[in-house]
Amino acid sequence: MDGLAVVAALAILVIVTMAKGVRTVPQGYKHIVQRLGKYHVTLNPGLNFIIPYIDDVAYKLTTKDIVLDIPSQEVITEDNAVIIANAVAYINIVSPEKAVYGVENYTLAIQNLVQTALRSIIGEMALDSALSSRDQIKAKLKAAISDDIADWGITLKTVEIQDINPSMTMQQAMEEQAAAERQRRAAVTKAEGEKQAAILEADGRLEASRRDAQAQVVLAKASGAAISVVSEAVGDKDLPVLYLLGEKYADALIELSNSNNAKTVILPADLPQALRGMLNKV
């Protein structure tokens, strides 16, 4: 009975030993094997054999691309503006042994490295340039950290700027500045409109004055011509002239009598003599 128990224990020990000596690595992963606490070998995908109780699988790393989310942070630009920026990095582990033995925590290290480089790059740019130069920031950021993480056996596939926006305080200041600029432009536009309207009105008055002057000249010439014609027709006879003046005088009296301001109309006692006096003065 005791012998059977020993045989069973030995069989279990053999099975466990064989299980410890056989390692299956799935596709997309690599396993780091330590022998007595020291790096020994990297197991590739597939069936692998190690020495039981001496070798140990210490780390299991993926060889697929890893997406690292870089937390948002406040960054001060060259012109002392505060903006909020974050990014996302795509990395690939090409040397798993360097990734686990070269740095304590490669994900945290890369996140801090990207944040530091991002602050440095944006800090050398003005606010307007930083907000409109994502591709330029991306290129500088990739060049700044690629060599550093290569020492850890990691390749930076790409890095993208997710968000880069002014802080809430800066946004309020920019909105107020934009509103003030719109008001200034509206005031300038209104002033220009009023100026153009005044110029057009003055031009209209000037043109009307010119036309009135021209009309007066034409009327004066017509009156002169009419007087010349009348003078030639009348000659030394004053009766027709008295008749015409009397007719104009009568019309003027009628208009004066119809006026609301007319209170008293004085007629000369000797109308023909008055007309002759006016004619002699002329």
pLDDT by 10s per residue, the chain, length 282 = 667 777 777 878 778 788 788 889 999 999 999 998 899 999 999 999 999 889 999 999 999 999 999 999 988 888 888 888 999 999 999 999 999 999 989 999 999 999 999 999 999 998 888 888 888 999 999 999 999 899 999 999 999 998 888 877 766 666 666 677 777 887 888 888 888 888 888 888 888 888 887 877 777 677 667 666 666 665 555 555 555 656 666 666 666 666 666 555 555 545 556 555 555 544
Structural domain includes residue 172: no
Structural domain includes residue 222: yes
Pure H helices in the chain: 2-21, 96-101, 106-123, 127-131, 134-150, 168-234, 239-258, 271-281
Phi and psi for 106 in degrees, rounded to 5? -65, -30
Structural domain includes residue 126: yes
What's the pTM? 0.58
Structure tokens at 40: 């020994």
Say how far apart CA 172 and CA 66 lie, in whole Å.
37
Structural domain includes residue 171: no
**90 and 54, same structural domain?**
no
Closest by Cα among 58, 21, 60 to 44: 60
Say how far apart CA 32 and CA 60 lie, in whole Å.
6
Radius of gyration of the chain (CA): 54
| Domain span at 107 | 66-166
Q: In the chain, how many domains are there?
A: 4
**156 and 70, same structural domain?**
yes
**228 and 248, same structural domain?**
no
Closest by Cα among 82, 79, 84, 244 to 164: 84
Q: Which residues pair with 22 in a beta bridge?
A: 49
Structural domain includes residue 191: yes
**28 and 83, same structural domain?**
no
**228 and 246, same structural domain?**
no
